[in-house]
A and B are shown apart, each in its own frame.
Chain A
Amino acid sequence: MNMPAAPNGPKKLSLKENYALLTRGLGWDTSYEDMDKAFPLDKFEGIRIHDWEKWEDPFRLTMDAYWKYQGEKERKLYAIVDAFQQNNGQFNVVDARYINTLKLFLTGVSPLEYAAHRGFAMAGRNFRGTSARIACQMQAIDELRHAQTQAHTISQYNKFFNGLHDPGHMHDRVWYLSVPKSYFEDAMTAGPFEFVTAISFSFEYVLTNLLFMPFMSGAAYNGDMATVTFGFSAQSDESRHMTLGLEVVKFILEQDPANIPIVQRWLDKWFWRGYRLLGLVSMMMDYMLPRRVMSWAEAWEMYFEQNGGALFNDLARYGIRMPKYHDVASMEKHRLSHEVWGIFYNYTHAAAFHTWVPEQAEMEWLASKYPETFDRLYRPRLEYWRAQQEQGKRFYNPTLPMLCQTCQIPMGFTEPDDPTKICYRESDYRDNKFHFCSDGCKDIFDNEPEKYVQSWLPVHQIYQGNCFRPGVDPTAPGFDPLAEVLLYYGYHVGEDGGEYLDSPDRRNWEQWTGKPAVAT
């Protein structure tokens, strides 16, 4: 690139010209087959597109540059993964509690990267505008790269810690992993415009900073060099994806005023779906990172209230308002992580990661970050659990919880105006009653009941006998259905879940590293 151009040679194309040739010059209209038959899915959602030429890509990344920079990212990443493995970097993390964030990530998030790969490949096929197709194609390749690099990087931890051995199998079966799985499958089974609005805009642009930025900074702060590296490598693609999301929404809104109410309903739906999904991130930030970067409430203020606020101010000129129930999400920011951690503390014997009661110093941190709620509402419960545990009665909840029909999370969330009262909502549909954790989830169901009556709810499936391994006889004497479900999930029972202090991970950590199980 430092070579001087030949003085009389062809003029070098500008970035904009180069990109226009890639995205406009390579497209064509079908002639012997109707375009509506070649692209059968881009009209049924009701979105009206009059002129695909109006699509503007902000990142003008041509294929030569794409391969060059993506290749450079891969070389950087794998050099670090080599060094990490050769130096036993898995033992440099602050303590073995931290590894549980990786277990949640590998089973809950990495399969979503693969789902995104599939989803964008489908969306790219289904748009008749060439620029949109190319942007989706590049993102589909990026997402496959993310799934692969995450599996490669975290595989080193799988050699030493439990719960990481079969993320794909678990993702398709385990109760709490149905939350991220159903979220993405909900998007993939919508039309292509809803898919990109859901994933590119509502998830990537509005909410993804809340996932990746605290997670990567948290990894760095807790001594996990490998995760910082794959995380930032993926995140460098994410900026392009976020920008695609903003462009998609602006493009749709500018094409026809009839699109505005459709998009607004999608933004309402996918904001709430994404927010509920991020409950997992909230507990990771406040409870699972032994060294904490910022609280969930602080991250919500920085990345949603401030940045999201600026974004929706920018979209106001199209007639778009903030997503419905954003105020509820802000009201819940002082309790979300505590409620979610409480759910997992109850059910950790049925999870593929460990939970624990925070140490005193950690409770002081929580009290300082949540002065209005922690000491009053959550510390007493944690101290009660700690006292029970010290008497040899570590609490595990042996019953199965009721799940929300929409987000599929156990119904442990509280009323918007009363954090001491569980929130229950219900709808009647075709002679059945359906239950919801919130007004947001109920609205989503009520708008598309035919879709959500089909939800694969893990608790229902267990009770219906659909979560046992093939050949197992539930009528056999002494049959223990819940123990059998854990085998169906592919767990190594007694190793993967349960209390951290009682776990083989804890014992191995102390033996192999000589470091305390809980860093002080």
Chain B
Amino acid sequence: MSSDTVFIAFQANDDTRPIIEAIEADNPEARVAHFPAMIKVDAPGRLVVRRESIEERLGRAYDLRELQINLVSLSGNIDESEDEFVLCWN
């Protein structure tokens, strides 16, 4: 698997705070960068967004497709299921 950087960027707001926290918890190698109005998370090779981790922080059921409301951009091949949204380079 390549260790080239994948990234995902969200609007900086209250909706995305628990998402960013969940990503940080599930991806120890992820680096979070703050821009005006935007947060960008870089990770080497692979980054996973887990539904359960978000639900734990949010205190409600979460559909990963809700990510799209606050998504700004991403880079990498995507694999999406009910439980995980994965970005990776092969």
Q: Which residues of A contact B (CB under 8 A)?
A: 1-2, 14-16, 58-61, 65, 69, 72-73, 76, 209, 212-213, 216-221, 228, 232, 235-240, 242-243, 246, 293, 306-307, 309-311, 313-314, 317
The answer to whether B75 touches A311 (Cβ under 8 A) is yes
Q: CB distance A212 to B63 under 8 Å?
A: no
| B36 adjacent to chain A (CB < 8 Å) | yes
B36-66 to A contact mask, C-beta < 8 Å, 1/0: 1110000000000000000000001101011
A314 to B6, CA, bound (A): 11
Write the nearest CB–CB distance from B3 to chain A, whole angstroms.
9
Q: In the complex, what distance in Å separates the CA atom of A225 from the CA atom of B10? A: 16
Of the candidates B70, B82, B90, the one whose C-beta lies within 8 Å of that of A14 is: B82
Q: What bracket does the count of chain B residues touching chain A fall in?
A: 20 to 34
- Closest B residue to A205 by beta carbon equals B75
CB distance from A369 to the nearest CB of B (A): 16
Contact of B2 among A61, A239, A314 (CB under 8 A): A314
- 6 closest A-B pairs (Cβ-Cβ)? A310-B4, A220-B37, A58-B78, A220-B36, A221-B36, A217-B36
Q: List 21 A-B contacts (CB under 8 A).
A: A15-B82, A16-B81, A59-B78, A59-B80, A60-B80, A69-B69, A73-B69, A209-B73, A213-B38, A217-B38, A228-B37, A232-B11, A235-B71, A236-B71, A239-B71, A242-B74, A293-B36, A306-B5, A313-B2, A313-B4, A317-B90
Q: Is the interface of A mostly helix, strand, loop or mixed?
A: helix
Q: Is the CB of A310 within 8 A of B2?
A: yes
Q: Which residues of A contact B70 (CB under 8 A)?
A: 232, 236
- Contact, CB under 8 Å: B80 / A15: yes
Q: Which residues of A contact B81 (CB under 8 A)?
A: 14-16
Q: Within 8 Å CB of A307, what residues of B?
A: 5, 7, 75
Q: A236-B68, A307-B75 are in contact. List 4 more A-B contacts (CB 8 A).
A: A61-B68, A212-B72, A238-B73, A242-B74
Task: Please determine whether B73 and A69 come into contact, CB atoms closer than 8 angstroms.
Answer: no
CB pair B73–A235 under 8 Å, yes or no, is yes
- Interface contact A239-B68, CB-CB below 8 Å: yes
Point out the residues of chain B lying under 8 angstroms from A310, CB to CB.
2, 4-6, 75-76, 89
Query: What residues of B have a CB within 8 angstroms of the CB of A238 in the complex?
Result: 73
User: For residue B69, which residues in chain A have a CB less than 8 angstroms away from its CB?
Assistant: 69, 72-73, 76, 236
A221 to B37, CA, bound (A): 8
Chain B 20-43 against A: per-residue CB contact (8 Å), 1 yes, 0 no? Answer: 000000000000000111100000
Q: Which A residues are CB-close (under 8 A) to B78?
A: 58-59, 243
Return chain B residues, CB-CB under 8 Å to A73: 69
List, in ascending order, chain B residues with CB within 8 A of A221's CB. Answer: 36
- The smallest beta-carbon distance between A213 and chain B, in angstroms, is 6
A314 touches B36 (CB 8 A): no
- Name the A residues within 8 Å of B37 (CB-CB): 216-217, 219-220, 228, 232
B14 contacts partner chain A, Cβ-Cβ < 8 Å: no
Chain A residue nearest in CB terms to B66: A69
Specify the chain B residue showing the minimal Cβ separation from A237: B68
Q: Tell me the complex Cα distance, A72–B66, Å.
A: 10
Q: Which of A2, A236, A237, A238 has the most CB of B within 10 A?
A: A236
Residue of B nearest to A61 (CB): B65
Bound Cα distance from A236 to B70, whole angstroms? 6
Shortest A304–chain B CB gap in Å is 11
- Assess the B4–A239 pair: CB atoms within 8 A: no
**Cα distance, A448 to B66, chains bound together (Å):** 44
Docked pose: A61 CA to B80 CA in angstroms: 10
Say yes or no: A58-B73 contact (C-beta < 8 A), given A232-B11, A310-B4: no
